[in-house]
Amino acid sequence: MAVSKQRVGMAPAGAPLAAEAPTPLAPAGAPPAVGRKGRSEFVYFAFRNWKFVFGLCVVLGFLALAIFGPMFTAHKPLDFAGPTDARPSHAYWFGTTSYGQDVYSQFVYGLRSAFLVGAVGGGIAWLLGAGIGFTAGYRSGWLDDVLSMLTNVVLVIPTLAILIIVAAYLHVHSYATEAILVGLTSWPWAARAVRAQTFSLKTRDFVDIARLSGRKTRQIIVTEIAPNMSSYLLMMFILLFGGAILIGASLDFLGLGPATSVSLGLMMNNAYAASALLLGSWWWFLPPGIGIIGIVGAFYVMNVGLDEIFNPKLREL
Amino acid sequence: MRIRPWATATAAAAFTAGLVALFVLTAAGGAGASGVSYPRSQTLYMSGNQWSPNNDLNPAKTWDYVTGLVGFAYETPFRYDPLKDTFRPWLASAGKWVDKTTYVMTVRKGVKWSDGKPMTVKDFAYSFNILKLKTHPQHPFWADTGLKSMKVKGNTLVFKFGAKPGYQQFDFYRFNVAIVPQHVFKQYSKTDLTTGNLKLPIVGTGPYLYKSGYGATSPALYWQKNPKWWAIKALHVQVGPKYIVDLKNGTNAAALENFQAGNIDLFNNFAPKKAITGKAKTYYSKAPYHLAANTTWLFPNTTRKPLNDVKFRLALADSINVGQIIAKSYQGLVKKASPTGLLPIWNKWINKQVVSKYGFSYNVAKAKSILKKAGYKLGSDGYVRNKDGSTINLTLAVPNGWSDWMTATQVIAQSAKQVGIKITPSFPEYGTLTDDRGHGNFDMVLGNDRQYSNTPWTYYQYIYQLPILSNQTNVNYERFKDTKAWNLTKGLDKIASTNTKAYKAQMTKLETTFLKNLPVIPLWYNGMWAMFNTSHWTNWPSNSGNRHFTTASWRNYWQMTSIDMLTHLKPVK
Amino acid sequence: MIRYLARKLLIYLVTFFVAVTIDWAIPRSMPGNPIEQLLARMHAQPESQRVLTSYYSKAFGFDVPLWKQYLNFWVALFHGDLGVSIANFPTPVWELIRGAFPYTLALLVPAILLSFWAGNKVGALAARRKGLDNTVLPVSYVLTATPQMWLGIMLAWVFAITLGYFPVSGAYGLTLQPAWSFGFVGSFLHHWVLPFLALFLVSFGGWAIGMRNMIIYELEADYSNYLAALGAPTKLVRKYAYRNALLPQITGLALALGAVVAGAIVVEIVFSYPGLGTLTLNALQNRDYFLIQGIFLFLIMGVLIANLVIDIAYVFIDPRTRVGMQGGS
């Protein structure tokens, strides 16, 4: 982007990256600044940082629930196993839907889809964002212009529009396809950030030396630039992971996700459509929201923790 | 330039203030506002028509016109009471078959259009004559009933038919053709009359006058009582509410909230059973709470293997646990359909012996044995195979977002599994589904397009109509080629309902061939969803009293007995 | 500066061109013919079906080759014509959008600006203040991690259904008609609070976190240390830090717009708020592709214009950018 070129060079020394792409919302969280620390130091600080530890524990807890929870369900999520609209009880831990489906079972299976959409969607967005960002930032020139343009276009095109077409076309629509679509559309902010970061790194001496020694662009990116941004890339993945879960939930809530299986967003959609809110069936609409906030929030808290680990300046006084 | 924190705040405030002002101006200008608010005790609020854009004033487009256009403004020669199966003279003061092929309709005297001009036999003749246009949606009135001519004779219209009049269809049009004012409608072109949306003002004869709300962006349609309605003097009836506000709601949930808060009196949306509590009343005080409005059918594609095999269809019908659908998808709000698929209002035409002999019901063992006898063997995965040994996997498609049907398909798939029939629910987009359904690119779909009418003929036509076109847009989705059944259907049309014996005999034949071949599988009766809030209005229709009226504010129901619901309503003091 | 703006403008124009082209393709790449869908709802005669098909083909401009449809689309666009809605035939798409847009605007603009303002203020206050930080930060994280629709559902459940303070749905009372009256404006504001809060709170959390982190960076920057060493009062140092930190936040605002608009769509649906979001849902449910196309085009334009405005504003706000562009630095 033209602006970024102008801006990066002039940004205050402390926060070149933060200045470039502070995306508190889209998808979430302010990208952290880069820091370079040794591995052992990382581990030392990591496990002394309560935010990181707390976030990690919550995420792992939900992950465990997603993996093992379905083993402890008496009913399949879509089975009409129980009485309709029953409160939480010993038999149905989270109660039942107004169709008599087990909310707990839907919840744990829904967590699975959330992690799937997060991992695959976030992963694809991460790959695209990093790839496009590195290339655009390192190569500059017309390639940069084209990639920046692409970034801009994807940024403004409503993801919904694309998903509607896909939903209409694909007769077999699964969470994997949804995740891929989320991934394909949620990378632009990451690409912008990586591009700016690369842009500032490539003028550093060690990159110049590598270039003078005749190494190929891809090699330089992989061996020189990327390692210097590893902490940044890790945090970017976490943010994209959480963001993908949120976007996927919105799509499912709108009824644009796959309807033959279970997700947290679809649970909200069903509960809303069945007027659970008005009819007081709180056990139906509370769990999916708590699940999403739990996972995504924990990721974000973990991210702050990481930020503090990599950037001593941010640590609590 | 420096950034001043207060500048952000001021900018935010100024921007907001500006936009709010802009908003109010736009909103006020856009909706054609008149600051009128209606006195609550004299106003009936109703919802259930929320999907329509409120911008069609053409009574010919019976699927699209603004609700109340026919019933409130325009009226029909007769009204039909489906619960008592009787016709009532309305704008026509009388009508009868003077011989087997001649029908005479007498136009009521003393009826005035809302612009003050008298309604005459000429308006009647005009209204029936426009149906001669081939593009008119009600053209079958001339094309299919055997009608040869229509003549004005004094104050009457004389309809002369060929040898075999289509009594059933003619009866249908007697209460479905709106009588429109010739002096207003003559301004319209042929295209306008058949496909246009027409213009304001609405000049009608009915109990209400259009007040405001026309337009796709309007939140509601507003009607005001017509103090000069002919029926006040002629029949000594009067509608209760002085104003009617017909709300266009975004979602069922929003409508339900307002209903619960007492803002909506007549609620014709679907709501879960839990909502029927307190001041919310329904036609029946216990399950199924609502009248049955239409039948939900399962359409198998009868051109595909194995659904082209009647034995397989019979086994499939036996495998579906409709009781489970009723209990889970609807919490008891609907009733199981008769195996004939005919609505309860047609009970007297259903031959119970035929049903008990050929009818189906949920029976896993029977379904299994039918399949076995027919040569469908079980595979190692527990699912039956085609006779040639190939695997069977049938998709059952319903539109995405139709949540009650979506859960119903899950039940169907789960119960068919017990018999060994593999069914995969599929929820394509509505457009995709109608496209696939029309062109026969499907295994199975659900459908419930046909509503109440005076005759089961409309149901059999829906099932059997021939020929099969490349795109079947609204009948015979299952593509069932049964000339004999279609001839029986056409024959039914030609028997007057008063000829009870012949009619019953024909019905027996149709029911028998239907149950033997089961081209479509009737599942349950969808309800005429209606909840009444008794906070402001009372004396609603009810099974227990003598107010047996249709409860829907939907199109084509006002000229049945929904208008009687309004004439019986009393304000709560 | 002119060169910079021209370059910016060019980028936006190209983006606009591509976005509009994709948008144009939406209804045309959908499976199922919209006209057949319209006809499927009707109980039309074969004869009238034939007539209607050609009538609708004309109305939707399908009777010309594809390249011409594309050209016509651009021509119509410059005349402010977004086509005709399928489900609301023959209402122009523009009329539907015009009816809904004010409501969305009334939610979005205050939510964006106020959350930006309040989030930055609170975030700045919280930075490097342990007690405040330990409350603001976790709350903000929970808020940004909350799906807007679920927050909306929660607010509706607590404040509308349980406590009865606010209505759950609509933009004004059913018994009212939009008008310039106290009754209507009061009812409008009453209905506006919860959906506004749902949007405001989620965005607020994001801005607060962003600002808090940014302030910490700024406070650690050399100039801050220098100022502090010179004996400048902490208040002054923080003031400078805030000013510097605000700039990247404004860039973030541009990036966040798309997400906020998406949030508004789901929040409107939860509250049945008659804005563009609800219009989108109805269009989705009716598969009214021309309306969807129109709404998205409208949103794309809105986001692009807002981005452009922010870019231009940035030039005036950030002195360094201006210097940079004049070749100084």
The secondary structure of residue B274, as a DSSP letter, is G
Measured between CA atoms, how close is C26 to chain B, in angstroms?
14
Q: What is the pLDDT of residue A164?
A: 67
The secondary structure of residue B292, as a DSSP letter, is E
Q: What is the pLDDT of residue B9?
A: 47
Q: How many residues does chain B have?
A: 573
Query: Average of pLDDT values for C156-170?
Result: 86
Q: What is the pLDDT of residue B552?
A: 92
* pLDDT value at B495 more than 90: yes
Q: Is C243 on the interface with A (CB under 8 A)?
A: no
Q: pLDDT above 70 covers what percent of chain B?
A: 93
Work out the burial of residue B158: count CB atoms within 10 Å of its CB; fewer than 13 is exposed, 13-18 middle, 19 or more buried. Answer: middle
The secondary structure of residue C158, as a DSSP letter, is I
CB contact under 8 Å between C170 and B1, yes or no, is: no
Q: What is the pLDDT of residue B360?
A: 93
Chain C interface mutation, best of B257, B429, B469, B471, highest count of C Cβ atoms under 10 Å: B257
The answer to whether C253 and C310 are in contact (CB under 8 A) is yes
The structure tokens listed for B237 are 């009836």
Q: What is the pLDDT of residue A263?
A: 92
Phi then psi dihedrals of residue B149, to 5 deg: -155, 160
Tens digit of each residue's pLDDT (9 = 90 or more) over C240-293: 888 888 877 887 787 777 778 888 888 998 888 888 888 887 787 777 778 888
Residue with tokens 């019976």: B62
Q: Work out the pLDDT band at C183, boundaries 50, 70, 90.
A: confident
B53 CB neighbours in chain C (<8 A) are 85, 87-89, 91
Triad B27, C305, C203: Cα angle to 5°: 75
Bridge-based pairing state of the strands B266-267 and B531-533: antiparallel
Q: Is A142 on the interface with C (CB under 8 A)?
A: no
The answer to whether B267 and B47 are in contact (CB under 8 A) is yes
Taking only residues 351 to 410 of chain B, the set having a beta carbon closer than 8 angstroms to any beta carbon of chain C reads 401
| Residues whose CB falls within 8 Å of the CB of residue A304, separated by 6 or more in sequence, listed in order | A51, A55, C137, C141, C209
Measured between CA atoms, how close is A38 to chain B, in angstroms?
39
CB contact under 8 Å between B328 and A279, yes or no, is: no
Measured between CA atoms, how close is B424 to chain A, in angstroms?
9
The answer to whether B62 and B283 are in contact (CB under 8 A) is no
Q: Alpha-carbon distance C329 to C314, whole Å?
A: 17
Phi then psi dihedrals of residue B215, to 5 deg: 130, 145
Chain A interface mutation, best of C213, C219, C246, C298, highest count of A Cβ atoms under 10 Å: C213
SS3 of residue B291 by DSSP: coil
Q: Alpha-carbon distance B79 to B71, whole Å?
A: 10
Q: In what order do the strands lie in the sheet with B521-527?
A: B335-336, B521-527, B292-300, B444-447, B394-397, B423-426
Longest dimension (CA), chain C: 90
Q: What is the pLDDT of residue C32?
A: 66
Triad A102, A108, A113: Cα angle to 5°: 120
Tens digit of each residue's pLDDT (9 = 90 or more) over B425-436: 988 877 778 888
CB contact under 8 Å between C128 and A317, yes or no, is: yes
The answer to whether B240 and B44 are in contact (CB under 8 A) is yes
Per the DSSP assignment, residues forming a β-bridge with B254 are none
Chains in contact with C, counting 3 or more C-beta pairs less than 8 Å apart as contact: A, B
The answer to whether C87 and B7 are in contact (CB under 8 A) is no
Q: Is A39 on the interface with B (CB under 8 A)?
A: no
Q: Work out the pLDDT band at B130, boundaries 50, 70, 90.
A: very high
> Scanning every residue of chain B, which has its alpha carbon at the shortest distance from the alpha carbon of A270?
B403
One-character DSSP codes across A72-92: G-SS-TT---S-TTPPS-SSS
ipTM: 0.84
Please give the distance of CA A171 from its chain centroid, rounded to a whole number: 27
| Long-range Cβ contact pairs of A86-95 (< 8 A, separation 24 or more) | A87/A283, A88/A283, A94/A283, A94/A287, A95/A281, A95/A283, A95/A284
Q: What is the pLDDT of residue B25?
A: 47
pLDDT along chain A (317 residues), means of 10: 26 27 34 48 74 90 92 84 85 87 92 93 94 85 83 75 68 78 88 82 78 79 77 87 91 82 90 86 92 92 82 61
Q: Alpha-carbon distance B277 to B274, whole Å?
A: 7
Query: Average of pLDDT values for C214-242?
Result: 82
Q: How many residues does chain A have?
A: 317
CB contact under 8 Å between C48 and B137, yes or no, is: yes
Q: Is A146 on the interface with C (CB under 8 A)?
A: no
Work out the burial of residue B39: count CB atoms within 10 Å of its CB; fewer than 13 is exposed, 13-18 middle, 19 or more buried. Answer: exposed
Residue of C193, C194, C317, C209 whose CA lies nearest to C256: C209
Give the nearest partner residue to A168 out of B256, B406, B429, using CB atoms: B429
Mean pLDDT for chain C overall: 81
Per the DSSP assignment, residues forming a β-bridge with B244 are B44, B223
CB contact under 8 Å between A250 and C214, yes or no, is: no
The structure tokens listed for C247 are 């700039």
Q: What is the pLDDT of residue A193?
A: 83
Q: What is the pLDDT of residue C196?
A: 93
Q: Alpha-carbon distance C141 to B243, whole Å?
A: 51
* pLDDT value at B152 more than 90: yes
A167 CB neighbours in chain B (<8 A) are 400, 429
Least confident of A27-31, B145-149, C189-193: A27-31
The structure tokens listed for B127 are 């209204």
Q: What is the pLDDT of residue A32?
A: 41
Work out the burial of residue A225: count CB atoms within 10 Å of its CB; fewer than 13 is exposed, 13-18 middle, 19 or more buried. Answer: buried
Q: Work out the pLDDT band at B101, boundaries 50, 70, 90.
A: very high
Q: At what angle do helices C93-126 and C289-317 cross, to 10 degrees?
A: 40
Give the nearest partner residue to B274 out of A85, A270, A272, using CB atoms: A85
* pLDDT value at B481 more than 80: yes
Give the nearest partner residue to C272 out of B20, B143, B253, using CB atoms: B253
Tens digit of each residue's pLDDT (9 = 90 or more) over C230-241: 888 888 888 888
Q: Alpha-carbon distance B456 to B549, whole Å?
A: 20
Within a 10 A sphere around the Cβ of B192, how many other Cβ atoms?
15
Residue of B245, B310, B259 whose CA lies nearest to B482: B310
CB contact under 8 Å between B139 and C272, yes or no, is: no
Tens digit of each residue's pLDDT (9 = 90 or more) over C103-119: 988 898 899 999 999 99
H/E run at residue B153: strand B147-153
What is the phi-psi region of residue B236: left when phi exceeds 0, alpha when psi lies from -120 to 50, beta otherwise?
A: left
pTM of the complete model beyond 0.90: no
Q: How many residues does chain C have?
A: 329
C49 half-sphere exposure, CB direction, 13 A CA radius = 16
Tens digit of each residue's pLDDT (9 = 90 or more) over A272-285: 888 888 888 899 99
Mean pLDDT for chain B overall: 88
H/E run at residue C61: none
* pLDDT value at B494 more than 80: yes
More confident residue, B375 or A231: B375
Chains in contact with B, counting 3 or more C-beta pairs less than 8 Å apart as contact: A, C
Tens digit of each residue's pLDDT (9 = 90 or more) over B242-297: 999 998 866 777 788 889 888 899 999 888 888 888 899 999 998 899 999 999 99
